[in-house]
Structure 1
Amino acid sequence: MSRSSALASKATGYPIASVAAQLCLGEKLYDITNVVTGNTTANFEPSLDYVVVKVPRWDTLKFRGVNRHLGSAMKSVGEVMGIGRTFEEAFQKSLRMVNGFGFEAYGDVPTREEILDELKYPTDDRSRVLAHAILNQNMNIEDIHTHSKIDKWFLSKCFRIKDIYEQLNISSLDNISVDVLRCAKQRGFSDKQIAKQFKCQEDDVRNRRETLHIQCCMKQIDTLAGEYMSQTNYLYSTYMGDADDICNTKSNDFSKKKIVILGSGKYRIGSSVEFDYCSVKCTQYLREQGFETIMINYNPETMSTDFDNSDKLYFEELSFESVYSIYMREKAYGIVISMGGQEPNNIATRLHAAGLNVLGTSVCSIDSCEDRFKYSSMLDRLHINQPQWIAASSPDEIQTFVERVHYPILVRPSYVLSGAAMQIVHNEEKLNQCLTLANMVSPDHPIVLTSFMENAREVDVDAVAHNGELVCYAISEHVENAGVHSGDATLVLPSYSITDKQKENMIDIIQ
């Protein structure tokens, strides 16, 4: 097995590893049952009535001076898989899965020279620059093909997305026609993308869409393009359909309460198999307790996207639009957000505000930990010592804070993973650069500046509580001084230099 064969298995629904194992044991292809349909054999080539687009995920922004050009050596740290009935639908889904943006001209505006250089020598930023070339620079297919060598078929699909943008630009939310809005959704536009064009809220677009009776359909990945009835609920959404596929399996027990579990999304630095493990174990426990489990995830590298690990698998975005739609369609009893890590946490507040029943760790607790301002304020209220800090609300306040505490200063954005855009700065120029980067990474949440204590020791404490009582804990000491992220630090357990008095203070803080 390889990464490619694992991806092919998820894309087609054909259980390659299972079939290969049975072949190794001497079974014949025509004797092996296709577990997806339950009534055909493995002796066939999968038929697809949908389009799959795989896009890699890079984390090059975390490395200064790194060569971002793509070549024969793999540089990605993860991948996503978008599924739809049109290329545009699957393509835009997969782009949003990677970075939250579809085929959009976002970020810094590149010059024509920079665009031509990117087209000729591609980097991890190629899709964004291609969008600028088509949407802003009005480059034609021939010019782009000449410089990039991208097949004209793919470029023509990107220009079809441009056509939708042009139709949206001459419309408004109030007078947009059913055909234009439906066509936009069929070409992969999210409600959020459309809202940006109309300068309105995402909820306004959803309400308008529902008023016009434009809803997605849920289709099955069944390996046979609907020729035979499928026994699994391996699903994806599309606006290129009139009705949902029939799900005639174990999940038709209407006496069971349904619980949605959010997976971890793409792998990147700081988020890997550990969150997927949590999601899978949560799903297994809920099934044992008699609940119907519904997994939402889009990472083909994970166990949670194996169709037999849950009663239903939606291979979909972990966006508010997608999760809310699935939750309401399934009439779910509740949703588990806290097992998937950073990406589900980012939409927790919106899901809670929309009325979804959040199970497990509360949204209030998630927000208190993710929001740097709220967390630091909580420490102050509890009289727990911490370095001096301030919310980066205005240049004057920042300057006053710097004059009071002096450099170095730690810049800490909220709702980020593995220290993204978190840096120790020693001068004003670097501070301004870091504030810009932090605002780009987490624009909707506060940035906190903290006085950085040099030559300090750093300790990790992992603890478990039940009904408000501390059950167990582990104290790990960093070999490196404070300033090295715990993911890159060498940790020692048990700690080697922490005194008993210091341990007592830590336990008091935990309690």
Structure 2
Amino acid sequence: MPKKQHIKKVLIIGSGPIQIGQAAEFDFSGSQACRAMQEEGVKVVLVNSNPATIQTDPEMADAIYIEPLRSEIIAKIIEKEKPDGILSGMGGQTGLNLTAELAERGALKDVEILGTPLEAIYKGEDRDKFRNLMLEIGEPVPKSIIITSLSQVEEAIQKIGLPAIVRPAYTLGGAGGGIARTREELLRIVELGLSRSRIHQVLIEESVLGWKEIEFE
């Protein structure tokens, strides 16, 4: 891919604290991205809430902001630094979520999203959009229903049955999801999933526990 000559300054979003499902690999990949940008003569603005990373070493970026990873804070940094592009994929789930939120706030109207396009983030993270994409390309998916409130749980039980798998949208490593075997478990997991999802959306899916799994490589 040829170098984009108009990109002179890039904002890189870090992944924040190391945690299960999003660990040190994003510190490493983000650090490599910083080095690669600098080698190409591109100025790097780094935002990360975790000071105990390689990324936040002074030589890794031209400007480093150790701030809470919230869209309203990053929007102010964008307004001040005026980057030409934003690289979100190096921040894992955190970076992808924040990029979507920044776009929805209108903070990226003059900033090019590099790497994963915004539409791909939506299709990959929104459970309804992802399910519809799979159906469009002819991939079979388990029976499922999208819900956005606890009041829809009874409808889900009638349509999907139990046990059921709960998959919240826009969450890290399946956080807030799980397998529910009873109505009480389903209510508890859905409530947690809705609270974890930035768009307050959960997919309840037919369980495939006990199915034979065949893998081809």
Change beyond 3 A, Cα 1:300–1:397: closer
Provide the rounded CA distance (Å) in 1 between the counterparts of 2:209 and 2:7. 55
8 Å Cα contact 2:7-2:84 kept in structure 1? no
Provide the rounded CA distance (Å) in 2 between the counterparts of 1:393 and 1:297. 31
8 Å Cα contact 1:379-1:385 kept in structure 2? yes
CA RMSD of aligned residues (A): 2.1
The 3-state SS of whatever aligns with 2:37 is: helix
8 Å Cα contact 1:279-1:304 kept in structure 2? yes
Shift of 1:394: 6.0
Shift of 1:328: 1.8
Change beyond 3 A, Cα 1:443–1:333: closer
Q: Which residue of 2 aligns with 1:308?
A: 59
Deviation string 1:374-415 (CA, Å, 9 cap, x unpaired) is 111111121201110110146675434423442110011111
TM norm structure 2: 0.87
Match 1:360 to one of 115, 121, 133: 115
8 Å Cα contact 1:335-1:358 kept in structure 2? yes
Q: Which residue of 1 aligns with 2:124?
A: 369
The 3-state SS of whatever aligns with 1:347 is: helix
Moved more, 401-410 or 296-305: 401-410
8 Å Cα contact 1:371-1:445 kept in structure 2? no
Change beyond 3 A, Cα 1:282–1:456: farther
- For residues 342-421 of structure 1, the aligned pairs below 5 Å read 342-353=93-104, 354=106, 355=109, 356-393=111-148, 398-421=153-176
2:26 pairs with 1:275 = yes
Amino acid at match of 1:291: V
Count of residues in correspondence between the two structures:
208
Match 2:17 to one of 266, 269, 272: 266
Provide the rounded CA distance (Å) in 2 between the counterparts of 1:412 and 1:442. 10
2:101 pairs with 1:339 = no
Provide the rounded CA distance (Å) in 2 between the counterparts of 1:301 and 1:456. 43
Provide the rounded CA distance (Å) in 2 between the counterparts of 1:413 and 1:288. 39
- For residues 62-211 of structure 1, the aligned pairs below 5 Å read none
Change beyond 3 A, Cα 1:378–1:344: same
Change beyond 3 A, Cα 1:397–1:316: closer
TM norm structure 1: 0.39
Provide the rounded CA distance (Å) in 1 between the counterparts of 2:8 and 2:76. 18
Provide the rounded CA distance (Å) in 1 between the counterparts of 2:11 and 2:149. 41
8 Å Cα contact 1:275-1:340 kept in structure 2? yes
8 Å Cα contact 1:372-1:414 kept in structure 2? yes
2:175 pairs with 1:424 = no
The structure with the larger Rg is 1
Provide the rounded CA distance (Å) in 2 between the counterparts of 1:407 and 1:275. 37
The 3-state SS of whatever aligns with 1:308 is: helix
Unaligned runs of 5+ in 1: 1-254, 459-496, 504-511
Change beyond 3 A, Cα 1:361–1:387: same
4+ residue runs over 6 A deviation: none
Higher relative contact order (CA 8 A, sep 6+): 2
Unaligned runs of 5+ in 2: 1-5
- For residues 236-275 of structure 1, the aligned pairs below 5 Å read 257-275=8-26
Change beyond 3 A, Cα 1:314–1:400: closer
Match 1:434 to one of 182, 189, 193: 189
